[in-house]
Amino acid sequence: MEKTFNDMWNKNYLQRINDDIKYDNWLEKYMKYINKESKILELGCGLGNNTKYLAEHNFYEVATDLSNVAIEYVKKQIPQTDVRILDLTKPFPFDDNSFDIIIADLCLHYFSSETTIKVMNEIKRVLKNGGRLFARVNSVKDLNHGAGQGDKIEDNYYFVEGYNKRFFDEKDANNYFGIIGNCQVQEGTMERYEKKKVLIEIEAICRK
């Protein structure tokens, strides 16, 4: 991933670093699949929205992000979490079948089709057979956050608001996340931002 992308996220997080960590309860329905023995990997943890939620439920995880600003912030705010820098466009530094659960909230919609497929294969590789991915991505209906706007790069993939963003419909979500295994896809909304966000939520069960 280009250094400019890392710089962009560092700048973004520096602007929000004094805000309170906020989370919605989207993970609540998945708690039945997680226990104290679960090995959890969080991709794109940002400033710790979901990291805080999991820590408050006393679940141990490895939380990762590209941004060193985000990583240092989460280390200070949620010190019980194992926090590491991770570039999603490169092979993950984890062994095969390392995790029971992977959480990827709004971090898997920035890539070309080719790179997205590579990321899905890496997720499948490090998940255990029968392990679960819980993810949310931009919806093609997310007009408040750039859907169908800017310069088109690929189908549902645009340069908008200063960087590349992919928008998913249910068919796209099934095609990409189906690489991991059986998946359930549904549309939802999120109120965390100033403007309501429309998103696609995915639960994928890894099948080797």
CA-nearest of 24, 21, 34, 120 to 77 is: 21
Question: Is 159's pLDDT higher than 50?
Answer: yes
CATH 3.30.360.10 matches 3-206: no
* Reported confidence tier of residue 125, pLDDT bands at 50, 70, 90: very high
* Contact status, residue 132 vs residue 192, Cβ threshold 8 Å: no
The structure tokens listed for 167 are 């928008």
Which element (helix H / strand E) includes 151?
Answer: strand 151-154
Question: Is 1's pLDDT higher than 50?
Answer: no
- pTM for the model stands at 0.93
7 Cβ contact list (under 8 Å, min separation 6) = none
Question: Is 3's pLDDT higher than 60?
Answer: no
Query: Tens digit of pLDDT for each residue in 34-89?
Result: 999 999 999 999 999 999 999 999 998 999 999 999 999 999 999 999 999 999 99
* Reported confidence tier of residue 4, pLDDT bands at 50, 70, 90: low
